[in-house]
Structure 1
């Protein structure tokens, strides 16, 4: 924060936000329409527009007030003017000014609080050394994470700065690092190929797009999640035919992609906010819904197992009749896929609907391939003579695993 002073009055308070490189890169990935890996002025205006759509209704997640001594805080009305969004050294900066009209005198404290109840922004005020603002007054800054106290006095006060501890990031395995590197490379390729297919649609531009999209989907599903444990455990306990497993896996991939399509469709033509924020919210609630489905499926499998206990398997009764598997499909596929979200964002931005849909379907097929492999593995364990003696134990273990997976997902989402 900085202050404009004249005639012993603070006339204006200037505030600048410095976004992290990670946030800047994520935003660039979503809004770099021409693919030149930087923000052009029109792209910055687009980002500023969606940023303001989020902030204006939340009073810019900013609260300014002033007091002297023990008197009560007096709120400074937040009438933002002269706001500007810029890119410097690979970081986004958002600056804005607020008219103040606060009489300046010794002992005055300006309090600035920056807090986003929605959890999208996490603020930390940068430390400042005391400095002179007039020939007789100093500004000393006392910072407590996202709250800053700017004291005006005849002498400087040096406050200790104690930043909040950095979040400890667990060490990533070499496998996860390999997957992350692959996916980032494929994302860049997909963006370039989608633009090529838009400018000159032909077999020579569409085929590489479809191939890279398939590989992205394959490696994306090879990472943690995406229903592999759910589907594998389901077939360990229930068994089934490979055709059923194939059809189930294809539906999971399509639902995964369809969820991303609907998310981007709503964000472009309905809710005017950051796609990344919308993705975060949708992912949270669909994860909870998915976890609930998994828990219900585990209880359904438990009930089926108890009914089957006293008669031959596949006797034709309701308990042994093949199921359509839509509960499994929704539980495994409803959480939106970030990679497919990026493809659909570019599709809507460029108007390349044919190329975008082909790429998304190919990505779904790549994910389905991995999920189908997990289903086949579960089936082979269920039918293998090696595991026949342990079949009952494996069925119960699969049910317990599913129930535990659903409960852990539900708890983690809170």
Structure 2
């Protein structure tokens, strides 16, 4: 099992090196942008077919929306950064991290629905104003919130390191019954609902631009519920990529920890990994924030 985790961790690290060390991310970004444009053009045709009442048009539209979500998620984005970084930082089970990944993607779609229908039904906002609001206000807020989560993870990791080092300085018998810092089992315990709400909320603050486009067009065409269904399909497409990132982050984390014997060394390693992952999240969020301003 340890060997399999190590091999998987090496594969994940190699992919990360190609993405950020050898320009792979640029190729992925170009591919994702082309995919999004193609999907948007196909969605426009699909909406015309849907309005004309063509059989199978709704199924085809939902499939296109899902494909758009996949291509959108494959490009540079904050959801993957947060889920992947949190998966490295916090020793949570894969199933829980995957649940967070799906919840954050669907929450992002829900925020698009809320923004559009609040704008068109209550405030009479135009499409361009809502798009501008999402880009100029909600995106920086989301990136800032993610940056703060990164800082929080750094501080939490440093506290673990400090607590562990303080315990190592004890000069008394270590056969006593009180705990000397969290065990591996405690470190893998369920994180609080507060953690989950903060993570999902940070992603949801930035609604998907493709969902905004689709929702406004379908509202004007009198296809409101079909547009909402399409936004959900986009969220599921985004989630499919984020799930891969979640699995990769857990594999890399467990593969690294598999090389460390259980005990104080594991606790120190968890604190160090958490601090480094938090610093990475904060740095990437700052880069996105500066690009959005």
TM-score under structure 1 length normalisation: 0.53
Q: Where do 5+ consecutive residues of structure 2 fail to align?
A: 1-24, 165-180, 261-268
In structure 1, C-alpha distance between the alignment counterparts of 2:201 and 2:59, rounded to whole Å: 30
Work out which of the two has the higher radius of gyration on C-alpha atoms and give 1 or 2. 1
Question: Which one scores higher on RCO, CA 8 angstroms, separation ≥ 6?
Answer: 2
Find 1:322's aligned residue among 191, 194, 199: 191
Show the 5 A alignment for 1:2-401.
Answer: 173-200=26-53, 204-309=56-161, 310=164, 311-313=181-183, 316=186, 321-324=190-193, 325-385=196-256, 388-389=259-260, 393-401=272-280
Structure-2 change in CA distance of 1:411 and 1:192 (3 Å): closer
Deviation at 1:249, TM superposition (A): 1.2
Deviation at 1:236, TM superposition (A): 0.6
Q: Is the deviation greater in 263-272 or in 325-334?
A: 263-272
In structure 1, C-alpha distance between the alignment counterparts of 2:30 and 2:281, rounded to whole Å: 27
Query: What's the secondary structure of 2:92's corresponding residue?
Result: coil
RMSD of Structure 2 on Structure 1 (CA): 2.7
Structure-2 change in CA distance of 1:368 and 1:191 (3 Å): same
Structure-2 change in CA distance of 1:226 and 1:301 (3 Å): closer
Deviation at 1:290, TM superposition (A): 1.5
In structure 1, C-alpha distance between the alignment counterparts of 2:199 and 2:79, rounded to whole Å: 8
In structure 2, C-alpha distance between the alignment counterparts of 1:374 and 1:341, rounded to whole Å: 25
In structure 2, C-alpha distance between the alignment counterparts of 1:299 and 1:276, rounded to whole Å: 34
**Structure 1 counterpart of 2:6:** none
Contact residue 302 and residue 399 of structure 1 kept, 8 A: yes
Q: Is the deviation greater in 360-369 or in 376-385?
A: 376-385
Contact residue 146 and residue 282 of structure 2 kept, 8 A: yes
Deviation at 1:374, TM superposition (A): 0.9
Contact residue 283 and residue 336 of structure 1 kept, 8 A: no
Structure-2 change in CA distance of 1:195 and 1:341 (3 Å): same
Structure with a larger share of its residues in strand: 1
Find 2:282's aligned residue among 403, 409, 414: 403
Q: Deviations over 1:67-111 (max 9, x none)?
A: xxxxxxxxxxxxxxxxxxxxxxxxxxxxxxxxxxxxxxxxxxxxx
Q: Where do 5+ consecutive residues of structure 1 fail to align?
A: 1-171
Structure-2 change in CA distance of 1:332 and 1:387 (3 Å): farther
Structure-2 change in CA distance of 1:229 and 1:182 (3 Å): same
